[in-house]
Structure 1
């Protein structure tokens, strides 16, 4: 068994922050390249429409000022008009155009502004809508990949990681990545396009004025770089604390009956309050950081605007800059500093997305300790011979073996009973047969095949399992029985239910097999859930049957009835039975008595009574405990 530690979501062992996870998320965009092209094409068109407005604004202002000046010149005597035109540098044709066409120029400029506004609105809608389609598609892909990966990770991974943390990865972390790919990436690109285009236009318009603000830009970029380095670890800690909060919530909802039974509501409330306070404090810390960033960015922008006001005002006074050109320059200057503010917002999203993407890929990159070999073969239909050959197994983090040099053979059709105290290794043995874990040393063989040499799917399809902790899923009783064989007919489902003595109580419900069970089967009693779980296993008609204390949740009479049904159904199948009471396994072909991971006795019931002091002690102690139920069992037997 590979004892390498599985990746752990978050915590002290988290690797240093990087952009690796987020850059890998970009590859998912290729699945939506057509829609992404529409989004980015729309971005360029809407941005181009935005960049045209300052030039049109200059035209309007110049048309108005030139028209007013032309009208004033027209009012002075003709002898002085030529002197005025010469001083302004106007030709006679320009004078006539400014005098007669000012109003027309303003009208046409206004029409163009409206047209560009409409174009910008339409393409901005296309940009936002298609970007959201892309981001939702990426989120869909990530969530499906995460779910599939979590389903395939080995039990050892789930032993080391909390359910609440995994849930946050598939919900909140995925949403952070989605927001950046759907909004942040487009905003960043738009900011870069606006910034570069505005700088080019400003340089072409008035390079002297442009040089005035150029030294400010590197300062702003340095500020963004510093804040991005600070923000990533902060957002990682937010996600870790959110995972902790979600874990507490999930555990409390799952164990609400235990909490109420032990009157632990105040204690659990305190735990939740502490986790919520830690999360709130971390989010406030992030908010404080970014509350400093944005005013600092606006301070830089205002410094740039002040410099332009001073330098532009001097050029206007000197006559080298018109009011229209100055207004255009001021508007394009907004397109320089506004993108800087956008980049501040993008850094916020980038930091969150990069932290979340790294957490997502921690799961996607996690190695499953139990997986198919490259050359694994399909396990053919089996007879059911199971052999444990010198099997030793250790759980992760444990120095003591859960199983120590275990060897036995179960021939086809035999029933093997496992008996022993809690922690003796009974459940570990049955977990190794369907390869929930891999042995540390030795081998588990079915019909001569090492279970590690066959595909997991072909192995588990031929094994029926009823676990000690009965799990039912939200849905109908019929769906739960047919869970492992969805295509089963109603007749097959009813036959399995009858064999498990579940049919009668199912038909007592008004909706019969279409009765819906609550979350985890909470609307059913423990015995009812157990019998449905037995029916679910029997429907598969497996060659190997595993019953992990499958009668633990029923009363003595029901236990006896179920045991009688199981005795008939186990005929011809290799069955492994874990039971706390000897009465349920006394007819087994072989009883294995375990103690601290070793087989300390084996044989049939009669032989063990004589040869094993441990078995005899368990048997006699249970005779005393079961004495009150003897009459009930006798009555049930007589009724048959």
Structure 2
């Protein structure tokens, strides 16, 4: 996990921008339930009235309210309301916001008393003891009665004493339920003025507009977060692929064999995709979940609903569920990437070896082998997927159970008058946001182990040093003197992890203008010897030099510039014939490519193609024959004009006629170059200036063909196995 956060740390500025945007998004998200509560409680239930202080009031109503106030409160009310207009309306001053707290305290109790008096008057008019909703007629009647009472001496003091006594006898819950009736008096007053509908619609439109603006802002922020997170994750994927690929390109054969090609492909593709996907999730969900959850808890804790304990029960249940499922699923996630490697390995082997499989009728066996690898991966994926699927029903149960508890206890609170419908809706919404934040974290917690394993596998590749690298103090090849002299000085080599040497005490010199051939039985170390020159492996003992300079002291680029290497198995790259022939560098011209193709005896089949040198080469050269592939590989090396040619059994796929013609043309081209040929056929090395006979990693014969036919029994055995007696006699006569 630390490695994933380390990758995110490289893009710290973008991550900080994402966190800042997520704070804005969370603010919007957490504000919406409050707006919903306001629309329900204030906009619908209270008719859009937010304060017990009316914005406009008839003078008769205000006088009745002032009678129910103390002298200080009455003076305050008189101060902030204008004089009556022609219709008897008085308007609250626009500057009254500064004194709104004092005004609300002054108006709340008189509003309640006046509304209750109007309701009592309505009940008397209806001839019932039940509570009846008062009308504007009842309000006017009560206001008139209060105006008449105001004329009596001591009426204000008597009313104040009775109000204080009545309010002190009420418990807190009843007082809270009565406070909402202050808004009912304002609504009744607005109804009497004929503006109640306008006030409600104005409030709904204003609040709804703010809610819509917050929603649009939240959408814009979410889009911005998604855009930045996607760019960051894509950049991380790009950088990791670049880093892994540049590391792997610098690997020697030892590191390639250590990881295996299939595993390196999986790490470069599947593993990096896992890390890239989790980085998006981390930025969009993991960073957002705690902000949303903590904000939701703070909103719930700041309320007075008394239902906060439900949140803690739900969170505790979620944590227990997550911890249990993680302990079950984590070990399986660590196995999954290894099984993906295994499946890729089997698939690669089957697809690349489809011809031998068919030839040996092993389709059924390979199908079973693939099916086993596929089934093992499927079982692990099924287990982890079932774990994730099992999480959802339990999460849903916890969420629905939490909602049920809130509705049950919230309903009781509403019955007591301590909670309104909008408050309960907001509380449920906040609770769901908190639960959803934990749900997001739990879903990410399921994905993180696999991504953590993938990050470890990627880091293993990046941190594995190449055993072959450029020297700290490189040397340069001498500019004067003979160029292209390759010398093996008592060279021994052992493969990593092996107990025995593959080559022992090899010493010889290959000179420019001469051909050095290496021949021997299969597995005797011929290709291994050749691979020491371009440093595909480094010698274990001794040294390999070019013009007197140890190849380990040369920069690899300079070393490889001197070499024209043709591997045992011809390798072509997707593109065209021309692009493959010019693979050795930008300095190769069309003329060089055509000349090289002519020397390699490839011109005939190239010109036979409709597009000639621009003919397409499929991946791996699958659309050309083995002999054509080998000739193009030879031409690619010739076009480079190297100082040293290395042919690793590169003529084996050629017929004898083409082989002879190619070697004759090559001899003319390489008069001043050093040529080292690994061969199986005697006919290929007959005219070499120096032939090395290898057996079990040791040189057991060195000389020309004629010399070896006299002095080396092993060479004689190879010659007799490949040449007829007539050919041997002709060679003796030619000598």
Deviation at 1:472, TM superposition (A): 0.6
1: CA distance, partners of 2:305 / 2:694: 88
2: CA distance, partners of 1:593 / 1:391: 16
Q: Which of 533, 536, 560 is 2:636 aligned to?
A: 536
Report what 2:647 is aligned to: 547
- Is the aligned partner of 1:266 residue 2:364? yes
- Is the aligned partner of 1:62 residue 2:41? yes
Deviations 1:550-584 (A, max 9, x none): 11001111111111112222321121111111221
Deviation at 1:277, TM superposition (A): 1.0
2: CA distance, partners of 1:376 / 1:287: 55
Report what 1:515 is aligned to: 615
Deviation at 1:89, TM superposition (A): 2.5
Deviation at 1:185, TM superposition (A): 3.0
Report what 1:96 is aligned to: 186
Moved more, 94-103 or 403-412: 94-103
SS in 2 for 1:546: strand
CA shift in 2, pair 1:597/1:231, >3 Å: same
Moved more, 388-397 or 212-221: 212-221
- Is the aligned partner of 1:617 residue 2:599? no
SS in 2 for 1:484: coil
- Is the aligned partner of 1:572 residue 2:672? yes
TM-score by length of 2: 0.77
Q: Does the 8 A contact of 1:173 with 1:356 survive in 2? A: yes
2: CA distance, partners of 1:121 / 1:366: 45
Deviations 1:425-445 (A, max 9, x none): 111110001100011122212
Q: Does the 8 A contact of 2:643 with 2:674 survive in 1? A: yes
CA shift in 2, pair 1:317/1:76, >3 Å: farther
Report what 1:404 is aligned to: 504
Deviation at 1:280, TM superposition (A): 0.9
Q: Which of 298, 315, 331 is 1:200 aligned to?
A: 298
Deviations 1:488-545 (A, max 9, x none): 2211111221222222331222111101122222222222211111111111211111
Q: Which of 255, 260, 269 is 1:162 aligned to?
A: 260
CA shift in 2, pair 1:572/1:517, >3 Å: same
Moved more, 481-490 or 424-433: 481-490
Deviations 1:34-69 (A, max 9, x none): 5x5554444333322211111111111212222399
Q: Does the 8 A contact of 2:516 with 2:677 survive in 1? A: yes
Report what 1:606 is aligned to: 706
Deviation at 1:207, TM superposition (A): 7.2
CA shift in 2, pair 1:457/1:409, >3 Å: same
Moved more, 209-218 or 384-393: 209-218
CA shift in 2, pair 1:528/1:212, >3 Å: closer
Deviation at 1:201, TM superposition (A): 1.1
Alignment RMSD? 2.8
Gaps of 5+ in 1: 1-18, 631-640
2: CA distance, partners of 1:68 / 1:480: 79
Aligned length: 608
2: CA distance, partners of 1:68 / 1:147: 65
Q: Which of 455, 467, 476 is 2:576 aligned to?
A: 476
2: CA distance, partners of 1:215 / 1:618: 86
Report what 1:7 is aligned to: none
Deviation at 1:473, TM superposition (A): 1.0
CA shift in 2, pair 1:405/1:76, >3 Å: farther
Report what 2:27 is aligned to: 48
Superposition map of 1:114-133 within 5 A:
114-133=212-231
Q: Which of 427, 440, 454 is 1:356 aligned to?
A: 454
1: CA distance, partners of 2:372 / 2:526: 39
The higher radius of gyration belongs to: 2
TM-score by length of 1: 0.88
Report what 1:25 is aligned to: 7
Moved more, 347-356 or 211-220: 211-220
Deviation at 1:215, TM superposition (A): 4.7
2: CA distance, partners of 1:59 / 1:246: 59
Q: Which of 228, 246, 252 is 1:148 aligned to?
A: 246
